[in-house]
Structure 1
Amino acid sequence: MGMVFQNYALFPNLNVAGNIVYGLKIRGLSAAERNKRCDELLELVGLTGHGNRRVNELSGGQRQRVALARALAPRP
């Protein structure tokens, strides 16, 4: 089960990609697997090319999509 908090609960010290793969890193996925999954999710939520951006540079809607991608990352 995935969950998106009302305030998105994104990590401000991580970029978009770092936020998306945070849980995958904890689960022990390799860097290659995390990068592949991150690319898939960025495309899915319409944020291709935004992986290196800081979350504070994003609009509210974009932040919401990052939170959604993070929730979907482990394939709940």
Structure 2
Amino acid sequence: MTTSPVIPFNINHLLNFAFAPRDVEKQVSIKASVTNKRNKVEMEKFDKAKVKNTETQEKNPLPSKGTIEHEKPADESQ
């Protein structure tokens, strides 16, 4: 007579599966609030005096109105 193999059963696996959606939402919410608190603390500790002052230079500036007017007749002749 052959016996079937015994498969260990863990009730916690079943419970985790049954209650996972609510628990996951709760965990995500808790993690988000903890992360937000950490970010707020880091922002409060940030020292603006250590940041270097820089000048922004546009790599591709928009043409002036005069340049557009100057180039219009060239486009119309083509």
Q: Which of 1 and 2 has higher RCO (CA within 8 Å, sep 6+)?
A: 1
Structure index of larger Rg: 2
Same fold (TM over 0.5): no
> Taking structure 2 as the reference length, what is the TM-score of the superposition?
0.23
> Taking structure 1 as the reference length, what is the TM-score of the superposition?
0.23
